Amino acid sequence: MFEQRGRRMRVRTRVDKIIEQATGTLRPVRDTVILEGSACDTYFGCARRIPFLWREVWLTGLEAQPSLGPPELGQAQSGILL
């Protein structure tokens, strides 16, 4: 995760529940997201590119900025700065 600091990424999805590996039980989590392009690679010992789980308090939000693309893509976009 440290290697990804200073990058700008979009929130891919919010995480509300995880499976605890040790017990196999479903556990609720709060204020946790997965960012696009943020995954553990084989360099760090993760063979399956498992996405990192980020706590929202670790991230700096960026204001929504209009896109300069065609009208169908002109929706406001937001990002996260690590």
**Tens digits of pLDDT across the chain (82 residues):** 777 878 888 899 999 999 998 999 999 999 999 999 888 876 666 777 788 889 988 888 765 555 544 444 444 445 555 5
Cβ-based neighbours of 66, under 8 Å, separated by 6 or more = 74, 76, 77
- What domain range includes position 45? 2-81
Task: Report the number of distinct structural domains present in the chain.
Answer: 1
Q: In what order do the strands lie in the sheet with 80-81?
A: 8-9, 80-81, 60-61
Place of tokens 């693309």: 69
Longest pairwise C-alpha distance within the chain: 49
Rounded to two decimals, the pTM is 0.66
